[in-house]
Amino acid sequence: MQEALLRPAVAGDLPAVEALMNRAYRGESAAGGWSHEAELLGGQRTSAAMLADDLARPGSRLLLWEPDGRLTGCVFLEDQGGHRWYLGGLTVDPDAQAGGAGRRILAAAETVARAGGGTTIRMTVIQLRDTLIAWYGRRGYRPTGETAPFPYGDTRFGVPLRDDLHFIVLEKAL
């Protein structure tokens, strides 16, 4: 399997990343894809302004995967100190899913975190995303037993279609 080469996003990339993430997580073409969550949430997944806010935090980076020169995937990483990193927003274009792109991007992100001194990487996943949780489990991520509330009332992250959403925390030793 070819290693994914990731490059840091710059401000000019954010509109394309916004379009990619919203298409993968909420768009019609995402139906059936591993990142699809439109049955749980409507509205946007992210915005260029939210991505800019994420990048403004110290230790944060948005990494892009562009095989053949086309934005096909991305992932957000944040150094949270104490050798702990947070991973979020792993996205693959729905037309490129099921070909190993997600595995390659995840492995490359873990390499970045390790190179930055990370020994643990964590993420949050909506508890009802069984297929996605199992996918991460096959890659060594385990539930910590911790949960986090869903940000009801904050439509920047989407409009919940259910009232029972929360996040579980997954963790992997690097």
Question: If you search the block for the tokens 């940000």, which residue do you land on?
Answer: 151
Is there a domain that residue 121 lies in? yes
Is there a domain that residue 1 lies in? no
Closest CA to 67 of 105, 94, 30, 35: 105
Is there a domain that residue 142 lies in? yes
Q: What is the pLDDT of residues 89-134, one digit of tens each?
A: 999 998 888 788 999 999 999 999 999 999 999 999 999 999 999 9
Is there a domain that residue 122 lies in? yes
Q: What is the pLDDT of residues 51-60, one digit of tens each?
A: 999 999 999 9
The C-alpha atoms of residue 155 and residue 151 are separated, in whole angstroms, by 8
What is the domain count for the chain?
Answer: 1
Q: What is the CATH number of the domain that holds 114?
A: 3.40.630.30
Q: Where in the sequence is the domain holding 41, given as residue range(s)?
A: 6-173
- pTM for this prediction: 0.91
Is there a domain that residue 49 lies in? yes
